[in-house]
Structure 1
Amino acid sequence: MSKHFEDARYYLGRAADHAKEGVKEELEPVEDRVRTLVGREKEPEPSRLDRLEADLKELSKKAEGEAKEAVQDARERLRAYRTDESAE
C-alpha cells in the first residue's frame, strides 16, 4: 500500500476516535439527565485499587490451584515409586 494511503488511513482513524469522543462528551449531560429521570445511576468505574485487588484474588486462586495440582502430582509419583520399590 502506498505511504499516502497508510497516512490517510491513520489520520481517518484518529479523526473517527476524536469524533467519537466529541459526541460522547456532548451527550454526557443528556445521559445524566435521562439517568436522573429514570432513576438509574451510572455505575462507577472500578478504581485502580479495586482492579489490583481483583487481580490479586485471581492470582491467588490460580496459585492455589497450581499448588494443589503439584501436591497431587507429587503424591502420585511417591505412590508409584513406593509400589515399584515394594514390587522388587
Structure 2
Amino acid sequence: MSALQLAASTGISGNLGAVAYGLAAIGPGVGIGLVFGHSIEAMARQPEAMPIIRQNMFLGFALCEVLALLGLVVPFIFS
C-alpha cells in the first residue's frame, strides 16, 4: 500500500488543507510585517514623502494579502 493510499484511508488528507494554509500564511505574514516596518522607517526619515510612502505601503499590503487569500482558496480548489 502506497503512502498516498494509506493517508487517504486514515483520514489524514482532510487536515492537509489546513496545514497547507498555515504554511502558506507564513510568507505573507512576514511580507506584511516587512512592508509596514520599512514604511514606518521611511516615513520617520522623510516625513515630506509620507503620501507617496503610504500609497506604496497599502499597495504592498494588498499584494501580500492576495497571496494569503490564494493560500486559503487553493487547497479547497484542489481537494
Q: Normalised by the shorter chain, which TM-score bucket? A: 0.3 to 0.5
TM-score (norm 1): 0.43
- Structure number with higher relative contact order (C-alpha < 8 Å, ≥ 6 residues apart): 2
TM-score using structure 2 length: 0.47
